[in-house]
């Protein structure tokens, strides 16, 4: 079969990459009987989603290797920490996703060709929060 006759569809390219870290937290503003008001921990999964209308050579939105500084930030600053002791906000998954999107756009996005669309933070296999970046 001659594949050169197959047209390339029009559209936007999107990629995602998952990262993980272990951390504890508590949400003391919840009612005293709520289980999340007590100290507990999660094996967090964080997924960043990036998009681009055109691909960079050799055909990437962003080289996955260019996302290594984000993994280094998670490992050095959040992994095996009590998040409520180091972050300037109550560390819900929603706020953590927003914070990580802010860090990414401030520290990594200027150096890469793709644009951040969203950050998803998963606390468990069945629960997650997503922050969508405006204007992307």
Q: Which residues does the annotation mark as catalytic?
A: 36, 80, 123
Beta-ladder partners of 122: 45, 128
Backbone angles phi, psi at 98, to 5 degrees: -65, -45
Q: How far apart are the C-alpha atoms of 36 and 49, rounded to whole Å?
A: 28
Other Cβ atoms within 10 Å of 85 Cβ, number: 10
β-bridge pairing 13-25 and 40-52: antiparallel
28 contacts 84 by C-beta, under 8 angstroms: yes
Helices and strands (H, E) in the chain, number of each type:
3, 5
């Amino acid at each position: 079969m001659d594949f050169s006759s197959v047209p390339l569809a029009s559209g936007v390219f999107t990629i995602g990459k998952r990262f993980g870290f272990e951390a504890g937290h508590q949400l003391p503003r919840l009612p005293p009987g709520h289980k999340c008001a007590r100290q507990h921990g999660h094996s967090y999964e964080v997924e960043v989603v990036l998009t681009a209308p055109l691909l960079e050579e050799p055909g990437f939105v962003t080289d996955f290797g260019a996302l290594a500084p984000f993994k280094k930030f998670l490992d050095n600053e959040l992994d095996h920490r009590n998040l409520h002791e180091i972050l300037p906000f109550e560390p819900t998954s929603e706020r953590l996703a927003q914070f990580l999107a802010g860090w990414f756009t401030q520290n990594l996005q200027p150096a890469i060709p793709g644009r951040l669309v969203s950050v998803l933070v998963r606390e468990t296999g069945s629960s997650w929060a997503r922050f969508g970046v405006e204007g992307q």
